[in-house]
A and B are shown apart, each in its own frame.
Chain A
């Protein structure tokens, strides 16, 4: 009886580990966090190039505002799709020629969290005093 119980737990634990391992691998396949150099490039792209239509402070322009409060409640997957494939019928182009799926997902997460102030500051270094 007791041995059977232990067997059952072992099987469950083993199964659980297999599932966990599989899930981790699957996640690693579809979502790889960009390295820090690439993250900087992506933030630069967000502020400067996405910013051409969405505003340098992502407050909107020809395109909608992209601050956390503007994106709240929108599914991550659909936002990622918009970045990669654009929005038909609007000027939003697909960026999949330049950005991987993982990178797009990282960008969505970054937008949802809000760009940290230090990112913005490092992108906009202080002005020199010369004329």
Chain B
């Protein structure tokens, strides 16, 4: 009897130990899928191609985005309603959550991983938080003009030197923020152009590029030499042609650079523009199936995958960057919202909102190799972003 009990107790201890061991794991192959309508995120394992959990009660996640702690354990999720949630991927739970604004559009994390920045529409501005505690460190209102009105902030990205860069939609300015002392940030302001809608920092951390809705072209800021100010590139790429209605604003973050060639969405046009990153001249235009929203390069930059605005949002096209030709047109599902490559790019995950699923493609064969159920999935964010400048 006693022996039997001891055996049971021993077995229980062993089970407890082994399950504790089973929980030890890295996060390098994990990620999250935003479930925009239900205010939840699905935590996914890109090796197993399977979901491992779901975290709920994250508020309004329409247009939500996420950045990662540099250890890849925590996702900072920025909700539309101003919620900022720190999600623990390993324990599948909310570590901390605050309401930091009335209407928010995304965020970034500093080079050293200590400062999380949120970009807000209302009240327009940027707020800096401690990545550890989410304590507010600084509030930077995006005021402009004589009467002190506040602009919506778009295109926030991190840059080397503990800096953040962002654009003011209403003010037409680019602001460079030095967060070396995050409680006393220093700000430089640059004129940019009419209605910047998004911006990005190039993968090498040198250039900030903002795209305009209100005029043709892009603004370029050299982060090695901000004292030189902004300059215009790709000016007049829509010139002489009727301005088309834009059913969804393109996203610039994650844009595609292959060697000297960059591939960018032409706003309102059924085209991907090619430009030379040395001269910033347009070198070509590729006709595509709709108004591009995301134009993202496979990590090795051999392919560029393009998703589209309504009503062509059921398609995805693959461009061969060597020949600059569309090599495949896919129909992964209804209302494709986002695409994310695995860290080295053997697969790409594509969210199809209206089919309530995420589809996984092998990028060598360009064949579907798996799918995961998700509730109205939108953004997909893998932890590999933790180590990338501008993400």
A residues in contact (CB < 8 Å) with B: 44, 47-49, 51-53, 55-57, 59-62, 86, 89, 91, 93-95, 98, 123-125, 127-128, 130-131
Q: Is the interface of A mostly helix, strand, loop or mixed?
A: loop
Complex contacts, A86 vs chain B, CB 8 Å: 245
Q: What mask results when residues 224 to 239 of chain B are scored 1 for a CB within 8 Å of chain A, else 0?
A: 0000000000000000
A65's nearest neighbour on chain B, judged by CB, is: B103
A91's nearest neighbour on chain B, judged by CB, is: B213
Complex contacts, B246 vs chain A, CB 8 Å: 91, 93
Interface set, chain B 279-312, CB cutoff 8 A to A: 310-311
Q: From residue B262, how far is it (CB to closest CB) to chain A in Å?
A: 24
A98's nearest neighbour on chain B, judged by CB, is: B311
Instruction: Evaluate whether A61 and B103 lie within 8 angstroms (CB atoms) in the complex, with A51-B62, A56-B80, A98-B311 already known.
Output: yes
Q: Is the interface of B mostly helix, strand, loop or mixed?
A: loop
A57's nearest neighbour on chain B, judged by CB, is: B60
Say if the beta carbon of B186 comes within 8 Å of chain A: no
Complex contacts, B60 vs chain A, CB 8 Å: 55-57, 59
Q: List 24 A-B contacts (CB under 8 A).
A: A48-B353, A48-B354, A48-B376, A49-B310, A52-B248, A55-B63, A56-B60, A56-B80, A57-B62, A57-B80, A59-B80, A60-B103, A60-B121, A61-B103, A61-B105, A62-B152, A62-B249, A89-B214, A91-B195, A91-B197, A91-B249, A93-B245, A98-B311, A131-B51
Say if the beta carbon of B185 comes within 8 Å of chain A: no
Q: Please report the C-alpha to C-alpha distance between residue A130 and residue B40 in the assembled complex, in whole angstroms.
A: 14
Say if the beta carbon of B158 comes within 8 Å of chain A: no
Q: From residue B290, how far is it (CB to closest CB) to chain A in Å?
A: 13
Q: Is A48 a contact partner of B335 (Cβ separation < 8 A)?
A: yes
Q: What mask results when residues 349 to 374 of chain B are scored 1 for a CB within 8 Å of chain A, else 0?
A: 00001100000000000000000010
Say if the beta carbon of B122 comes within 8 Å of chain A: yes
Complex contacts, A53 vs chain B, CB 8 Å: 248-249
Q: Please report the C-alpha to C-alpha distance between residue A41 and residue B60 in the assembled complex, in whole angstroms.
A: 22
Complex contacts, A55 vs chain B, CB 8 Å: 60, 62-63, 80, 103
Q: Is B53 a contact partner of A124 (Cβ separation < 8 A)?
A: no
Instruction: Evaluate whether A59 and B121 lie within 8 angstroms (CB atoms) in the complex, with A53-B249, A131-B53, A131-B54 already known.
Output: no
Q: What mask results when residues 25 to 36 of chain B are scored 1 for a CB within 8 Å of chain A, else 0?
A: 000000000011
Q: Give which listed residue, B38, B195, B335, contacts A124 with CB less than 8 A.
A: B38
Complex contacts, B94 vs chain A, CB 8 Å: none
